[in-house]
Amino acid sequence: MSPRPSGRRGGWALALRLARRDALRSRGRSLLTLVMITLPVAAVSIADTVYATADISGVEVVERRLGGAQALVDAGYGGGSTVYQMPDPDDGMAVESRSGRRAETDALTLGEVEGVLGGRPATTLAQGSVSYETEIGVGDAQVLETDLTGPLAAGLVELTSGRWPTSTDEVLVNADLLERGPGEVLTLRDGTELQVVGTAESGTYTSYARAFALPGTFGLGEPRQWLVGGDPVTWEQVLALNRVGASVVSRAVLADPPPDSELPVEVQWGQSLLSGPALTILLLIVVMVLIEVVLLAGPAFAVGARRQARTLALVAAAGGTPAQARRVVLASGVVLGLVAAALGVVVGLVLAVALMPAAQHFSGQRFGPYDVVPTHLAAVAAFGLVSAVLAAAVPAWLASRQDVVAVLGGRRGDPKPSRRSPLLGLVLMAAGVAGATYGGSQGTSGGGEVPIAVSAIVCVLAMILLVPVVVAAIARLSRRLPLPLRFAARDAARHRTRTVPAVAAVAATVAGVVALGIAVTSDEAQNREGYTATLPEDAGSITDYRRRPDLDAMAVRVREVAPDVVVEPVRGIPDSGRGWSEITFTGPDGERVLGGWNSTFGSSTLVADSMPDAVTGLDRQQREDADAILAAGGVVVFADRAVEAEQTLVRQRVRAGGERRTTRVTAPAVFVVTDQTYPSAQGVMSTAVAEELGAEVADVGLYLPGPLSGADARSIDEAVSGESQASSFYVERGYQTDDETMIAQLVLGGLGAVLMIGGTLTATFLALSDARPDLATLSAVGATPRTRRAVAASYALVVGFVGAVLGALVGAVPGIAITYPLTGPYDYGAGPIGPSHYLDVPWLLVLGVVVGLPLLTATLVGATARSRLPLTARLD
């Protein structure tokens, strides 16, 4: 018979048995705890598995990149170059010429490559892009030329229908290109017609229109890449090819890369995946997530410790030590943490398989085989276990300090709150605000992001220590509130171990949402402020940059594809054409009055006898003044400052062939101060001034007043491209928020809602379960079922609203601070230009999480809470 374990080991064995029995006995509470820990573990497991599957490199993609070859040699860097590369050149590469700069000429030949590798089978590989004709105009496609049926290229392209090309008159297209309607013949921009003999897909890419053919089909020029077979290409051979100006992807090197010590020093920077600040930020994010999980799971362990209070008091009365009492509660964290960690990893792996097709849809590169990184998942599981143990730590400490006599007498034995914790919280809050202020003061010079991130963590920790004081203050101020709210506020203060982590969890969530929300919307405000509309909204412009553009033919083509669209010619002085021409407008001091401008129609100076509608940035009075001065034979000059003058000196310098001339004309002028960073032109002159100047005036573009629909814009774009590859078609849609910004805001709102509602509901139902004796007493003295539901809703409102307000205040500290380095001006030597920062608080998001979500949660709780309870004896 084996001896019983003794000492610390035996104490833990007993504690674990008690924890297992308690978990099975209190299934509802255990399930809530498991959900709180399992969900983040599963979410991280899904993200890690999907990322590992999508992150294909090295041997995972060797067949896609090399086909059946031993290596891919790229000699397009010039024979006078030296290449320094990582084992996989996609991970890092540097090129320099013997003269100290990159050479673009004298590229290697296949014979020179064979001089290094020896004689071996090889086939050319060429990649590029071509333009092809559509029913409306011209489209672009990525193309690949190689011996598609040869053994060296096997695996690069997958034939999905039809047959392989057998001559340079035939081509394969992918599904994306086929949808664009080339038909049975693909006609290139130069008129070359290629017979479409089937469809195929790239082994690597899933996006863009693509075509595949034999070498020479698309005329991509001299080959500079080769697939080579034969014996494996060693690292020494790779270095030898690097020395003569070629990079190499070797099957053997990818499978067995050299040690870091053998890498060229020029690319050893490529080994560092994370910089110091980036790693610090990543660690801080992990800490913040850990704090959030601990706070979400904390109320369940607090209620569990309260349920075990009598058992722990009996242990203490029988001679048990405080350490043994702590062990019993901590063991609950160990048991539930182990189960939640294992369950979360398994659920994550299963859901990752189900979500993989959806993730692939958003990637332009094919995923690799299903990839699981055991060390990553072990770390994720350890994260779940640690979070559970930490969530049980505070209840365990309080349970070990309870009043044994009071508990055995049927009263609460909670120790008195410490006065040191709030003081420490105030000190930490002051330190957090100071750190955020310091980080913000660094501006865009760098180095401020890490102090701000650290300060965010410090502020959250300070807030956790201050929550008990806030909850107690709410309870004291609740005397004038209705009974349900007064009952909930005082009960929350009485059960601090259950309330504090719940309120802190909500506050931490809201703090993160508010901080990131301020950062995202402020960055968006900076982008919006810096945007300059070059045309009226939904209007379009067409510019042709050929030396002799045929805008009349362009206008006819536009009217053919979009008959309802108005086309107006815009006249101006071409900036280029037969030569070079420059127009300058000066103020009374002889200096330019505008720092920068656009040339929306290929000319910075337009010619008209009334202000063209295409020119933006003028109010009604400015446009009337401009029309008057142009009709009188004058000039309209845009300025970025006020100019007190009624005329301007117009100077034109021309350099065309052997002609060199400078002409000056003084003309009446109106100076229009514009707030646009880059107005669409520097000025507009009347026909009379242009004639006096002797300037060449021509149609410089076409103006389409609009409004242009999306369908018309697409048709016009293809038609214009078909007329001239040197043309440009632009539609002014105003400032458009990036998809990434919209997604970030939706994710912030959605994630905040899930965490807030989940945390509040969990804490509320645990509180209602713990408060059954009190609620039963209310029923016994005549409280109606409606009062019971109102009390339940009030629990949720107190936890959610108090936490949300605290979180919004705390989150504003790093949120405002981060706007300085994120949106501040850069100093390029002449001093920073622009405001110190942009601040845009997403009030709708803040009101949603601070007011809307607590009310929603309270409504849900009030609607689902039980209205009647059996009478329960109350001992305290």
Percentage of the chain beyond pLDDT 70 is: 87
Average pLDDT over residues 309-327: 79
Quick one: what percent of the chain has pLDDT higher than 90? 15
Q: What are phi and psi of 332, to 5 degrees?
A: -60, -40
Q: Is residue 768 predicted with pLDDT exceeding 80? A: no
CB 842 within 8 Å of CB 525: no
Q: State the average pLDDT over residues 432-450.
A: 81
Question: Across residues 761-774, what is the average pLDDT?
Answer: 74
Q: In the structure, what pLDDT confidence band is assigned to residue 101 with cuts at 50, 70 and 90?
A: very low
The pLDDT of residue 20 is 87
Short-list 428, 403, 405, CA closest to 416: 403
Count of C-beta atoms within a 10 Å radius of residue 504: 29
Q: Where on the phi/psi map is residue 727: left (φ > 0), alpha (ψ -120 to 50), or beta?
A: beta
Alpha helices in 308-373 (DSSP H): 309-317, 322-361
Q: Which of 513-517, 524-528, 678-682, 763-767 has the lowest mean pLDDT?
A: 763-767
- If pLDDT is split at 50, 70 and 90, which confidence band does 104 have? very low
CB 615 within 8 A of CB 606: yes
Residue 792 has pLDDT above 80, yes or no: yes
Q: Which of 320-324, 448-452, 498-502, 793-797 tops mean pLDDT?
A: 793-797
Tokens, residue 35: 């959900």
pLDDT one-digit tens code per residue, 540-553: 998 887 777 788 88
Mean pLDDT of 831-838: 65
Residue 519 in contact with residue 819, Cβ under 8 Å?
Answer: yes
Average pLDDT of 302-307? 74
Q: Does 828 have pLDDT greater than 50?
A: no
Q: Give the pLDDT confidence of 691-701 residue by residue, as tens digits.
A: 988 888 888 88
Average pLDDT, the chain: 81
Structural domain spans, the chain: 64-271, 479-531+739-876, 540-731
Q: Which residues does 142 contact at the CB level (< 8 Å), separation at least 6?
A: 127, 128, 129, 205, 208, 209, 210, 211
pLDDT in the model for residue 44: 83
* Averaged pLDDT for residues 837-859: 88
Which of 41, 789, 799, 194 has its CA nearest to residue 493? Answer: 799
Answer yes or no: is pLDDT of 591 > 50.
yes
Task: Report the C-alpha gap between 560 and 553 in whole angstroms.
Answer: 11
Residue 303 is predicted with a pLDDT of: 73
Look at residue 703 in the predicted model and tell me its pLDDT. 92
d(CA 859, CA 415): 34
The most confident of 79-93, 180-194, 635-649, by mean pLDDT: 635-649
- For residue 465, which of 490, 510, 430, 517 has the smallest C-alpha distance? 430
Q: What average pLDDT score do residues 573-589 get?
A: 75
Nearest to 141 by CA among 151, 149, 150, 129: 129
Region 606-625: mean pLDDT is 88
Q: What is the mean pLDDT of residues 310-329?
A: 80
Segment 250-276 mean pLDDT: 74
- Strands of the 540-544 sheet, one edge to the other: 580-586, 647-656, 659-673, 635-639, 683-685, 605-607, 568-572, 698-704, 540-544, 727-731
Does residue 234 have a pLDDT over 90? yes
pLDDT at 102: 40
Q: Which tens digits make up the pLDDT trace of 627-664?
A: 999 999 999 999 888 888 888 888 888 876 667 788 88
Does the pLDDT at position 838 exceed 60? yes
Q: Is the dihedral of CA 494, 495, 496, 500 positive or negative?
A: negative
Tell me how far apart the alpha carbons of residues 402 and 315 are, in angstroms, rounded to a whole number.
12
When pLDDT is averaged across residues 585-599 and rounded to a whole number, the result is 81
pLDDT tens figures, 128-162:
888 888 776 677 888 999 998 889 998 889 898 88
